[in-house]
């Protein structure tokens, strides 16, 4: 057996490490390759953003006009200028309302308002407000 392994080694048919193993343990079965890893399942599709409904956004914006629709309006607590939201980009409005809803932006009135909105409401409101120029 040793001579056969040595001959195959010299001929370049088997690697040297295999020939040494065969010489030490001539009765061991040939090594089997490791089983292939199972194929990964494809990732689920990314959730799609709700489609905006301008009419629904207009209805929701009614309560916003009390503060954001008054030119030069200052909030009583804390005292600062209330920003104009008509004409802002939809992306900015969605981000701002989502952050108020999650508590990442601190303003009690805005947090309460945003927490009452669904994701669809936020999309509708942002689409309507961004359409105002």
Measured CA to CA, the distance from residue 56 to residue 121 in angstroms comes to 8
Is residue 87 situated within a structural domain? Answer: yes
Is residue 93 situated within a structural domain? Answer: yes
* CB contact at 8 A, 94 and 126: yes
* CB contact at 8 A, 117 and 101: yes
Domain match, 114 and 63 both: yes
Question: Range of 12's domain?
Answer: 1-28
Count the domains in the chain. 2
The reported pTM is 0.59
Give me the residues paired with residue 74 across strands: 81
Q: Per residue of the chain (133 residues), what is the pLDDT tens digit?
A: 444 444 444 445 445 555 455 555 555 555 666 666 666 777 666 667 779 999 999 999 998 988 888 776 666 666 667 888 999 999 999 999 999 999 999 999 999 999 999 999 999 999 999 999 7
Domain match, 123 and 67 both: yes
């Amino acid at each position: 057996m040793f001579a056969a392994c040595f001959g195959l080694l010299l001929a370049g048919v088997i690697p040297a490490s295999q020939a040494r193993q065969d010489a030490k343990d001539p009765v061991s079965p040939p090594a089997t390759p490791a089983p292939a890893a199972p194929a990964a399942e494809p990732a689920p599709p990314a959730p799609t953003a709700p489609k905006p409904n301008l009419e629904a956004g207009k209805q929701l914006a009614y309560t916003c006009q009390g503060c954001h629709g008054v030119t030069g309006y200052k909030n009583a607590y804390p005292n600062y200028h209330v920003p104009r939201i008509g004409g802002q980009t939809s992306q900015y409005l969605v981000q701002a309302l989502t952050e108020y809803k999650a508590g990442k932006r601190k303003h009690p009135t805005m947090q309460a308002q945003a927490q009452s909105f669904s994701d669809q409401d936020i999309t509708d409101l942002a689409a309507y407000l961004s359409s105002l120029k």
